[in-house]
Structure 1
């Protein structure tokens, strides 16, 4: 029998794996290319998800204040310094999230920081925070898949079968 923690993290890690497949074989130059009318780039999506994981881990471990960069308006912009470092930062953020979730009581309520869209937020359970990270990862993985397909025709689904 697996715990609810295991089930939630399994699903989140599957979404992270899909994003890593989408990023497979990219260069830093590829990761900064816009391939649609959107400002989104693959590097920008990865940067956004990394910051989101770090931010929500900051919140669920009840560290004071708003996490650095969580509301940064340039969060989707990535200047292309080192794609390898960006991938490593995403992996590290995921490990930190997983460790914090494993150590937490999923029913525990934690205060949420005020944000422009919710100046007086209600507390969230750890479970809800994990589900939000999952939702964000799945949502932006879909964006990444479209950007990648427009970039070079690579399909995440097709790449699943080449593992």
Structure 2
């Protein structure tokens, strides 16, 4: 594939098209696991994990938003992971579940908006090799920098990992599978 069109009709070619195609595929698998579900079903925990389908979509939306902001604004776009409070941890936990008043349609709409923004960013970036220093966090190597390319590959991998989690949760819910 040499070109793809993003939702806002920008044309990407080469490496950018490859990154957008890989991300679109993983986004599709994640969204597909929520097909034909009610809001209540989207919030159900069906495994030993605390994860639910709506919560996974919320989490992936947040992750993609933060990493896209990081590409543009650097580490200031990220939370200060070294100074997290109990309130920060509670907000993070809420990211993985459907809260009262949230709907699956609303969660999916927010994900679509973040995806459009990321796609536009990938298309418009002057240089996928431009780097930003990673914020301080126990899980990042000290003084490391990531290029926009590496960030996007990380977002693809994170989305794929959670699409797999979602598939297990959905199969536990009602036997439906994304593939097979």
Distance 1:61 1:27, change over 3 A: same
Structure 1 counterpart of 2:15: 4
Deviations 1:93-113 (A, max 9, x none): 111111111112111112222
TM-score (norm 2): 0.80
Structure 2 counterpart of 1:32: 43
Structure 1 counterpart of 2:52: 41
Matches within 5 A, 1:132-143: 132-143=154-165
Distance 1:27 1:67, change over 3 A: farther
**Paired residues of 1:107 and 1:125 also in contact (CA < 8 A):** yes
Which is worse superposed, 72-81 or 60-69?
60-69
**Paired residues of 1:51 and 1:69 also in contact (CA < 8 A):** no
Matches within 5 A, 1:49-68: 49-62=60-73, 65-67=76-78
**d(CA) in 2 for partners of 1:96, 1:120:** 29
Structure ranking higher in strand proportion: 2
Picking from 101, 125, 129, the partner of 2:151 is 129
Structure 2 counterpart of 1:114: 136
**Paired residues of 1:66 and 1:113 also in contact (CA < 8 A):** no
Which is worse superposed, 92-101 or 71-80?
71-80
User: Does residue 100 in structure 1 map to residue 121 in structure 2?
Assistant: yes
Length, aligned pairs only: 158
**Paired residues of 2:167 and 2:177 also in contact (CA < 8 A):** yes
CA RMSD of aligned residues (A): 2.1
Unaligned runs of 5+ in 1: 159-163
**Paired residues of 2:134 and 2:140 also in contact (CA < 8 A):** no
> SS at 1:90's partner residue?
helix
